[in-house]
Structure 1
Amino acid sequence: MLRPHLSQDRLISALSGRTVDPPPIWLMRQAGRYLPEYREVRAKAGSFLGLCLNPELAAEVTLQPLRRFDLDAAIVFSDILMVPYALGQKVEFVEGEGPKLEPVRSAEGLARLDRAAAEARFAPVYETLRLVVTELPSGVPVIGFCGAPWTVATYMVEGAGSKDQAQARLWAYRDAASFQSLIDLLVETSVAYLLGQVKAGARVLQIFDSWAGSLPENEFARWCSTPTRSIVAGVKAEAPDVPIIGFPRGAGAQAETYARETGIDAIGCDTSMPLSFMRETLQARLPVQGNLDPLLLLAGGEPMEARVTTILNTLGGAPFVFNLGHGILPDTPPEHVARLVELVKGKA
């Protein structure tokens, strides 16, 4: 059973530039394998993609962490690779290996992608959102999301995850014009996808650029900041009041220009981002989100509690959303998540 939420729209208040005490908290991958009830539903679905495409089951796992923990938002259960799937690229998730895609590495491969069919393929995600919204307590928004064009492109080109995103980087270096065509297609599709999520009930959006850190300085603006700015502008043209969080993982010092140039409402920070930089450089401009190490959450105990206290003391006096620096790890004990939420909420 979902608990009532007494304070209204704590997350949206923080993302709107207000200081909320205690700060709101939600966690990337808060619905996932660390929860035994998730594993039960995942077994029923038959496959990860099957779970993403089953609105009833996806809604159930979206809501599961809200039943356990006093979190300030749900995030729709889906995956950033829904966009290439919707464009007609072959996508599967292999147990123990991760995503596998039929690589797109040329103009000919681009020509086989089908934007016209995308909306129908996004329909299960929209239905999941509609189901979740009917179950959420007042004051708890649901977050919609997409992958940033650069990150999604790396999977589409590599055909899988990779350590250095080499194939995508080489395509961008060797034929920037055709790689730009892929990025443009992803921008257009992502805008439509995010707006569809808003229409289905999402009240906050996040753009995950998980591989932003692989881009050198002279390429970062072209393939990370500029496409993200285009997505934000496209969404804001029709949904100006929906806050958008950008998460440029690994951006380092380039996070400052990303925050300044993309038009996002808040910036998510990975674990490597110094708290002093977050406070003095980023939080002076916009709300920040982050950035507890997921491994500390897995470890728990005094080291985790000490770091939580440091993060709260450093960032809690200004607009701030507590989160991890990346997603919850599958081996994380649920009781560590419960303890984290108690600490952030001041209930310890």
Structure 2
Amino acid sequence: MAFRPAGSTDKPLLAVLRGERRDPPPAWMMRQAGRYLPEYRALRAEKGGFLDLVYDPESAAEITLQPLRRFALDAAILFSDILIVPFALGQQLSFTAGEGPRLAPPLKGADLAGLKLRLERLDPIYETVARVKAALPPQTTFLGFAGAPWTVATYMVAGEGSREQAEARSLAYSDPALFGAIIERIEELTLTYLIGQADAGVDAVQIFDSWSGSLAPAEFERWVIAPTARLVERLRAARPDLAIIGFPKGAGGKLAAYARETGVDALGLDETVDPAWAHSVLPEGLPVQGNLDPLALIAGGRGLKEAVTRIREALASRPHVFNLGHGIQQTTPIAHVEQLMSLLGKSSGGVI
């Protein structure tokens, strides 16, 4: 069984992650604390770059809470980044405007043994969690997160993001022992990191495998399913009450195997997945999250209404957390988020 129904809770979203159905479904949005909000842009202009915000717990907590002041969302998600793990593993991390993140040295040409573990780089994130937890209303679920081992490894190997993840895929084929050692290092620290988030106050965590869709089936089993299954098993043993959402973006037809074999409590669906198909192939009763196309939210109007209706009808008999299929985009109009909340039967105004 891939999920663990538990007792009821006064947090609607957490109840769904534990196997209950709620109508209307609880909702949050990936990247809901971010650049589409004018208050976020104002704070970033005042405080500096992205990493400056992540490592300022007061600012990071404020950004985490901002969307809950505007919208009746059922969860807050920690404002941070999946590359905090390689940063704590000893790579240097920087964000360049218009170019995205950079990690140095790239592991495609460096010695893994040369990285020095820097656990203190996780401490400000835990402080952010504690600050947010103290400010949240009791009905709001608090979500932490980390990148999945495969996705984090793609950045560590190449030193930056890439659409095809060619460097990591090539290394995995040519030197699976070395690549396996990288994955193992990521697994170990990710376990520590997620336990730390749980101890600081999160109710659930999402494991982002943003680049899982780039792998051939056998490689998907080896580098996505197997490491995630090990991580879930160990995390559950350490913190049994922590709900775990898996989000293997781009997995497509491999979603059912991922759900069965990783043991996650809930499965995130990206916008390319037909929710009716997912309902037909996934384990009965497994909670799912998703999967509105972020561009439908940008479009708004009738197209948004029809997309929301299709998703809700397809997943009406399954525990469902309404969400986007990926992150909310910078150009999303605030009015369209308000329309989405209305379509979901959410009251106007924020929850804090």
Conservation of the 8 A alpha-carbon contact between 1:11 and 1:321:
yes
Once the two structures are TM-superposed, the CA of residue 347 in structure 1 deviates from its matched residue by 5.8
Match for residue 328 of structure 1?
328
Alpha-carbon displacement from aligned partner over 1:4-51 (angstroms, at most 9, x marks no partner): xxx921011100111111111010000000000000111122110111
Give the aligned residue type for 1:30: Q
Alpha-carbon displacement from aligned partner over 1:100-124 (angstroms, at most 9, x marks no partner): 1124335852112223x22x11001
Look up the SS of the partner of 2:313 in the other structure. Answer: helix
Which ranges in structure 1 are unaligned for 5 or more consecutive residues? 1-6
In structure 2, do the counterparts of structure 1 residues 179 and 99 end up closer, same or farther at CA, with 3 Å as the change threshold?
same
State how far apart, in whole Å, the 2-side matches of 1:226 and 1:307 are.
34
Look up the SS of the partner of 1:284 in the other structure. Answer: coil
Q: Percent sequence identity over matched residues?
A: 52
Alpha-carbon displacement from aligned partner over 1:187-217 (angstroms, at most 9, x marks no partner): 0000000000000000010000000000100
- The reply to whether residue 67 of structure 1 matches residue 69 of structure 2 is yes
Match for residue 265 of structure 1?
265
TM value normalised by structure 2:
0.94
Once the two structures are TM-superposed, the CA of residue 179 in structure 1 deviates from its matched residue by 0.4
Once the two structures are TM-superposed, the CA of residue 162 in structure 1 deviates from its matched residue by 0.6
2:88 to 79, 86, 89: 86
The aligned runs of 1:234-273 (5 Å cut-off) are 234-273=234-273
In structure 2, do the counterparts of structure 1 residues 298 and 253 end up closer, same or farther at CA, with 3 Å as the change threshold?
same
State how far apart, in whole Å, the 1-side matches of 2:171 and 2:48 are.
35
Match for residue 26 of structure 1?
28
State how far apart, in whole Å, the 1-side matches of 2:272 and 2:184 are.
30
In structure 2, do the counterparts of structure 1 residues 69 and 283 end up closer, same or farther at CA, with 3 Å as the change threshold?
farther
State how far apart, in whole Å, the 2-side matches of 1:188 and 1:63 are.
30
Give the aligned residue type for 1:297: L
- The reply to whether residue 57 of structure 1 matches residue 59 of structure 2 is yes
Conservation of the 8 A alpha-carbon contact between 2:260 and 2:283:
no
Once the two structures are TM-superposed, the CA of residue 334 in structure 1 deviates from its matched residue by 1.1
Conservation of the 8 A alpha-carbon contact between 1:154 and 1:165:
yes
State how far apart, in whole Å, the 2-side matches of 1:283 and 1:37 are.
41
Once the two structures are TM-superposed, the CA of residue 259 in structure 1 deviates from its matched residue by 0.2
State how far apart, in whole Å, the 1-side matches of 2:345 and 2:56 are.
33
Give the aligned residue type for 1:88: G
- The reply to whether residue 229 of structure 1 matches residue 241 of structure 2 is no
Match for residue 302 of structure 1?
302
Which ranges in structure 2 are unaligned for 5 or more consecutive residues? 1-8
Match for residue 127 of structure 2?
127
Look up the SS of the partner of 1:128 in the other structure. Answer: helix
Conservation of the 8 A alpha-carbon contact between 1:212 and 1:249:
yes
Look up the SS of the partner of 1:206 in the other structure. Answer: strand
Give the aligned residue type for 2:112: L
Once the two structures are TM-superposed, the CA of residue 317 in structure 1 deviates from its matched residue by 2.5
TM value normalised by structure 1:
0.95
The aligned runs of 1:30-41 (5 Å cut-off) are 30-41=32-43
Conservation of the 8 A alpha-carbon contact between 2:17 and 2:287:
yes
Match for residue 205 of structure 2?
205
State how far apart, in whole Å, the 2-side matches of 1:264 and 1:39 are.
34
Look up the SS of the partner of 1:290 in the other structure. Answer: strand
Once the two structures are TM-superposed, the CA of residue 294 in structure 1 deviates from its matched residue by 0.3
Alpha-carbon displacement from aligned partner over 1:61-100 (angstroms, at most 9, x marks no partner): 0000000000000000000000011112011111111111
Alpha-carbon displacement from aligned partner over 1:215-257 (angstroms, at most 9, x marks no partner): 1001001100011111111111111111100000000010100
Look up the SS of the partner of 1:142 in the other structure. Answer: strand
Match for residue 6 of structure 2?
none
Once the two structures are TM-superposed, the CA of residue 284 in structure 1 deviates from its matched residue by 2.0
Look up the SS of the partner of 2:344 in the other structure. Answer: helix
Q: Which stretch shows the higher mean deviation, 273-282 or 31-40?
A: 273-282
